[in-house]
Amino acid sequence: MAYGKAPARAIAGTMSDERIRDLEEQIAHLSKAVDDLSDVVLRQGAEIDVLTRRMRLVMERLAEAELDNGGTAPLADQKPPHW
């Protein structure tokens, strides 16, 4: 028998019906919480994707504006002098 795994008959014999109902209720609440958190993570992932695209566009526009105003390539796009 694997560690932590008792036969269902042994568990049922030592736990009251009330205790089993309490555990089933806790499992139901935890399952709901996991589903809710999964939805939150999915929604946040989509929002991060949108924000990443927006940030990329803002950085590109800023770099273009800098070049249009006579500046050089943004420092982030320049190679260090030792390259």
Centre a 10 Å sphere on the Cβ of residue 63 and count the other Cβ atoms it contains. Answer: 15
Quote the pLDDT of residue 1.
44
52 falls in which pLDDT band (50, 70, 90)? very high
Note the pTM of the prediction, 2 decimals: 0.56
Query: Residue ranges per domain, the chain?
Result: 8-70
pLDDT (mean) for 45-56? 97
Give the angle subtended at the CA of 12 by the CAs of 18 and 10, to the nearest 5°.
150
Write b or e for each residue in 21-44: b if 16 or more Cβ atoms lie within 10 A of its Cβ, otherwise e.
Answer: eeeeeeeeeeeeeeeeeeeeeeee
Please give the span between the terminal C-alpha atoms of the chain, in angstroms, as a whole number.
63
Residue scoring higher pLDDT (44 or 66):
44
Q: What are the pLDDT digits (tens) for 7-46?
A: 555 555 678 999 999 999 999 999 999 999 999 999 999 9
